[in-house]
Amino acid sequence: MSRLVARVLKMELWRGTAPVAALSIAVAGIATLFNMSEYWAGRWAPLAENLRMILIVLVPLAAAAGAWQGGRERRRRIGELLGSTARSPWQPLLVSWTSVVLGTFVGLAVTWTAGAALVAPVATYEGRHWWWSVVVAFAGLAAASAVGLAVGRLIPNRLVAPILGIVFYVVGGVATYQSGGTQWLMPTVSNSRDGASYLEPQFQLIQITWLLALAAAALVVVGARRRWLSTVPLAVAVVAAIPIATGPGDGRWQPDPQARELVCADGEPQVCLARVNAFVLDDVAPKVREMLERWEGVSGGFERAIDRTSLSRDERRRAMPGNGPQGDEMPDGEQDHASVTEPGVDLERTVVLDLDNLISWNATLARRSEHGKTLELVVAEAAREAYGCEVGAGVPEAAWTAMSVARLWAAGMSDEQPGDGTWVSQEETQAFEHLRSLPEAEQKAWMGDYLAAARDCDHAALTELAGELR
């Protein structure tokens, strides 16, 4: 780079929209990323996925910054002056775009670095191919600012910048609602995959090609004297977009067996977390063991705990027969992974640990999630999930009462409400009080009978058990 170009670029960097773009992207990025820190703290791949998620806010900012920069010559009425210089139109355009892109890149780099500073000291799994996701995020900002610059040049209105930003915001939002391949045309991802899945590098290379070709086409349209030249990058963009749009949606996520490998704490009973979550094992294991002790002496009681992230779809179904993968938990098309549990392990007697939202920003176990969930309630959920039929309208009221009482008992609750959004009725509280007033051996016998009835989906027995506590 010649000294002259470097000087012009430096002036553009300080006097254009680059500083505002860098600052707004860094502030918005850090605010949004750290607001959802429970989804990525301590894990590299989720950090990259969440960086892609927050692009829904950052891409519109980059587009608006580009559009504002693109309209600058017109606002300052210096278009003719610049046209009279001996420079080709693409040269000032390229310098202008480079300054905006550098501004947006600085903002995104600050955001990612702030997250990485919290992940690096504690991460227990290095992740697989997540850096490609970060590269796609940068390419997304480059493309958005190029399209913004082109639109800002072509449409002579001050409001182009905010309107284009809002349009990008809407398009990004609509893309996240799509389940097919078109969602990947935007650099955003619709949700984080808890670090146990990854996107193939080849696919992300195609995404980068699509985004950069789109940026090049936008720049050539407004910067080149021969506009037809834009057909070349446009053709590349279309060729790259076809396999993206016509390919699978959620099926692009590949299971990462290494991330899901079980890492177990020393000692008994067995408490294991997925490798990607193992950085909280020392926090989780003693508390879970303490809770598993409650089940000692209960016929059919739980004797181990395993991270939900590690389980395959079939294993989740076996561990939580009535409450297994439903709805968007395992979207259609997403590829399942092989079993990581040892053959012969009785999943029926295994507590499935769902640590979602329970990891705090500094990668330790949170006392209570923002939804009110605690580790105690997560472990106790196993008592309710033992119910073997699909949960729905056909479940008798007494069975609900029995399930609720069993959960309260497993959580070691006293009189207060669980505080996680579930509501315990007066009748359930009274039934639970009745159970607690019984001698310990009778309590455990009742719980044993409950587990047997719940697993067999025996509504008559559950009704009878609930009746015993009236």
How is residue 10 written in tokens? 């430096």
Q: Measured between alpha carbons, how far is 151 from 254 in angstroms, rounded to an integer?
A: 37
> What is the residue-wise DSSP string for 101-136?
HHHHHHHHHHHHHHHHHHHTTT-S---SSHHHHHHH
- DSSP one-letter string for 354-401: --TT-B-TTSSB-SS-TTS--HHHHHHHHHHHT--S--STTS-HHHHH
Among 18, 24, 198, 306, binds another protein (CB under 8 A): 24
In the bound state with another protein, the residue whose beta carbon lies nearer, of 24 and 350, is 24
Binding map of another protein across residues 388-427, x = CB under 8 A, - = no contact: ---------------------------------x------
Look at residues 366, 455, 298 and name the one whose alpha carbon lies nearest to residue 41: 366
Question: Can you tell me which of 200, 293, 328, 346 binds another protein, judged by CB under 8 A?
Answer: 328
Q: CB nearer to another protein: give 27 or 395.
A: 27
When asked if residue 146 is in the footprint of another protein (CB under 8 A), the reply is no
Q: Out of 5, 11, 35, 442, which residue is the one contacting another protein (CB under 8 A)?
A: 35
* Alpha carbon distance 208, 255 (integer Å): 22
* Spatial distance between the Cα atoms of 156 and 378, rounded to a whole number of angstroms: 57
Beta strands in 191-280 (DSSP E): 197-199, 253-255, 262-264, 271-274
In which residue are the tokens 């000294």 written?
Answer: 3
DSSP-derived letter for residue 77 is T
Residues 308-327, mask of contacts with another protein (x by CB under 8 A): -------------------x
CA distances from 250 to 170, 244, 332, 334, 423 (A): 21, 12, 7, 5, 34
How many of the chain's residues bind another protein (CB under 8 A)? 28
**Nearest by Cα to 249 from 337, 314, 185:** 185
Q: Is 159 in the site for another protein (CB under 8 A)?
A: yes
From the list 209, 73, 76, 49, the residue with the least C-alpha distance to 143 is 209
Residue found by looking up tokens 């040269």 in the block: 91
Name which position in 18, 67, 139, 161 contacts another protein (CB under 8 A).
161
Query: Scanning residues 354 to 393, which ones bind another protein (CB under 8 A)?
Result: 370-371
The residue within the footprint of another protein, chosen from 8, 18, 32, 316 (CB under 8 A), is 32
Among 45, 57, 273, 291, binds another protein (CB under 8 A): 57
Query: 371-388 burial string, b = 16+ CB within 10 Å, else e?
Result: eebbbbbbbbbbbbbbbb
CB closer to another protein out of 224 and 391: 391
Name the one range near another protein by CB under 8 A: 54-62, 107-115, 189-197, 387-395: 54-62
Strand order in the sheet with 262-264: 262-264, 271-274, 304-307, 350-353
- Under the binding rule (CB under 8 A), the answer on residue 166 touching another protein is yes
Name the residue nearer to another protein (CB basis): 250 or 449.
250
Element (H, E) at 307: strand 304-307
Give the rounded distance of the alpha carbon of 61 from its chain centre.
Answer: 21
Stretch binding another protein (CB under 8 A), from 55-63, 86-94, 232-240, 293-301:
55-63
User: With respect to another protein, which residue has the nearer C-beta, 56 or 431?
Assistant: 56
Query: What sign for the dihedral angle of Cα 22, 139, 161, 102?
Result: positive
Q: By the 8 A CB rule, do 197 and 127 touch?
A: no
| Closer residue to another protein, CB minimum distance, 127 or 152 | 152
x/- string (CB under 8 A) for another protein, residues 58-97?
A: --xx--x---------------------------------
Q: Is 297 helix (H, G, I), strand (E, B) or coil?
A: coil
- Whichever of 422 and 429 has its CB closer to another protein, that residue is 422
Closest distance between another protein and the C-beta of residue 158, in Å? 5
CA distance 406 to 367: 22
Q: Could you tell me the CA-to-CA distances from 453 to 8, 113, 293, 295 in Å, in that order?
A: 77, 52, 22, 16
Q: Identify which range of 56-64, 339-347, 359-367, 390-398 contacts another protein by CB under 8 A.
A: 56-64
Looking at the Cβ atoms of 177 and 228, the one nearer to another protein is 177
Q: Does 108 sit near another protein (CB under 8 A)?
A: no
Q: Among 79, 156, 162, 419, which residue interacts with another protein (rule: CB under 8 A)?
A: 162
C-alpha 22/C-alpha 458 separation (Å) is 61
Q: From the CB of 333, what's the least distance to another protein, in Å?
A: 14
> CB 371 → another protein: shortest distance, Å?
6
Q: Which residue is associated with the tokens 């001698």?
A: 439
Binding part of the chain for another protein, among 162-170, 386-394, 423-431, 436-444 by CB under 8 A, reads 162-170
Q: Of 13, 47, 54, 136, which lies in the binding site for another protein, with binding defined by CB under 8 A?
A: 54
Residues 169-198 that bind another protein (CB under 8 A): 169-170, 173, 177
Helix or strand run (H / E) with residue 464: helix 459-468
Minimum distance between the CB of residue 443 and another protein, rounded to whole angstroms?
33
Provide, rounded to whole angstroms, the least separation between the CB of residue 143 and another protein: 18
Under the rule (CB under 8 A), what is the footprint of another protein?
Answer: 24, 27-28, 31-32, 35, 54, 56-57, 60-61, 64, 158-159, 161-163, 165-166, 169-170, 173, 177, 327-328, 370-371, 421
